[in-house]
Structure 1
Amino acid sequence: MKPKAEILVVDDDAGLRAALSDYLSEAGYAVRAADGGRAMDAALSARAADLVILDVMMPGEDGLAICRRLEGRAPVLMLSAMGETTDRIVGLEVGAADYLPKPFEPRELLARVRAVLRRPEPTREAGGRPMRFDGWILEVEARRLTDPDGRAVELSFGEFALLATLAQAGGRILNRDQILEGVHGPLTENYDRAVDLGVSRLRRKLARQGQAPLIETVRGVGYRFRPAARS
């Protein structure tokens, strides 16, 4: 039997924590809950999670700060009553896998949870073999990037998903809609600025003296990964 995915709900609202826990448990997930960053740390130390559902507005350490330090430990689905586009971009920029404004329909939350948890599947279909380009090594299944000098490069979940989406496109030009779908799933609303900011940040981490940028801007269309990545 396939093990249940582990979800950790982090919210200071006890009523919402209980409601989300009950709803996701009924959907077949193993759910734990925490009322803030400290309780979340204790829960993750005891057992890893496949997904953290994290509220932004909490007393003390807020969700954005928690999301930044969760980088690499678990994908994060952020929940927030702040529905402005800029707020959502910030959520994605700090490394969240997806962002859902409150109030939301429980069915939409469930759809986004399923979408985030499904994302690793294509890498297993590809056999998990490393991709190599211009001396770089990208291990998609292991979520690891190594530079030509053999040093590991730290990337957020969003940055890693963006790099993998571009590298796996096989040199094809991807428009912003295609990139957003690859990075955040088909339910993501179209935030062109989030894509542009993500590409800019990723370029800085991939920049090497004397080497042309690995991500090429195709004006009026989108972006293309310049080198031919090979397995």
Structure 2
Amino acid sequence: MKDNETAKLIAIVEDDPDVAKIIEQVLGDFGFRTVWCRSAGDLLRRLRTLAPDLCIIDLGLPDMDGIEAMQRVRAQSACGILILTGRAHVSDRVMGLELGADDYMLKPFEPRELVARVRSIVRRRESVETSGHQMAEFGGWRFNLSNNRLLAPNGEEHALSTAESELLKVFVNNPNRILQREKLMGSRDLAPTDRAIDVRISRLRRKLEPDAQSPAFIKTVYGAGYLFLAAVTWSGEAG
């Protein structure tokens, strides 16, 4: 159990009080601080003064579609995002991942699995923030691992989600090497039918590649994995 100074803050965006109470209780039992927001508007107002480490967002919110809420959170915060939804449609889950969510869970959920996924996202976020090398440069791009910012050669700045940053971190630390999908997913168990990594690759390509159909950096090696084709240099400045 962590003290309140170091415990991670989780924002729960859920309009069902009973579900919210279960989430608050189980996360509290495992040392997390929580704040409950009944609506997307409530969360967006609180983000002006709160800096949660992770937001758990229900897709079925009363005042705003959860996908839109997630996009607005992502636009103003680098926090982790976990989608919690009763929607079983694959398209909803894929759209959530494409738009910047780090993971998703379906209702009804197993409380311990929820905790495990929250911990996984928070750990990934911390690993990006505490990397010894803070700035990676490749092909005119600059990637700041301390704040998830990606600076294009033309000076345009992109904010990456935690999942995108984790993926790019693996690539810049392993340039010119074929990486299996399992390696790119980190510690998460990967089923043969799990296409989450491919969705994340697609998201990252759209930001990095002028022509995503003919990528210059992230190459697909069919039957083997992916290759990050770039010369990477490092510096310790925060940028």
TM-score, L = length of structure 2: 0.84
CA displacement 1:35-69 (0-9 Å, x = unmatched): 11111112222211111111111223021111111
The alignment covers a number of residue pairs equal to 227
Runs of 4+ in 1 over 6 A off after TM superposition: none
In the other structure, the counterpart of 1:57 is: 60
- Residue 202 of structure 1 and its aligned partner are, at CA, apart by 2.5
Q: Which among 24, 27, 52 is matched to residue 24 of structure 1?
A: 27
- SS in structure 2 of the partner of residue 67 of structure 1: helix
Distance between the aligned counterparts of 2:167 and 2:193, measured in 1? Answer: 14
**Runs of 5+ unmatched residues, structure 1:** none
Distance 1:156 1:108 in 2: 22
**Partner residue in 2 for 1:138:** 143
State the SS of the aligned residue for 2:233.
coil
| 102-111 vs 57-66, greater mean Cα deviation | 57-66
Deviation (angstroms), 1:107: 0.5
How far, CA to CA, are the matches of 2:172 and 2:98 in structure 1?
Answer: 20
Confirm or deny that 1:99 pairs with 2:115: no
In structure 2, stretches of 5+ residues that fail to align are 235-239
- Rounded Cα–Cα distance in structure 2 between residues aligned with 1:199 and 1:171: 16
Identity value in percent: 35
CA contact (8 A) 2:85 2:106 kept: yes
Q: What are the superposed Cα offsets for residues 150-197 of structure 1, whole Å, 9 maximum, x if unpaired?
A: 331343444333322322223321222332x23xx5156555544334
1:30-49 alignment, distance < 5 Å: 30-49=33-52
Residue 195 of structure 1: aligned partner? 197
Deviation at 1:212, TM superposition (A): 6.5
**Distance in structure 2 (CA, Å) of the matches to 1:51 and 1:203:** 25
How far 1:118 sits from its partner (Å)?
Answer: 0.6
Q: Structure 2 CA distance, aligned partners of 1:79 and 1:162?
A: 22
Distance 1:128 1:61 in 2: 39
What is the alpha-carbon distance in structure 2 between the residues aligned to residue 18 and residue 3 of structure 1? Answer: 22
SS state of the match for residue 60, structure 1? coil
The residue aligned with 1:224 is: 227
TM-score, normalised by the number of residues in structure 1: 0.87
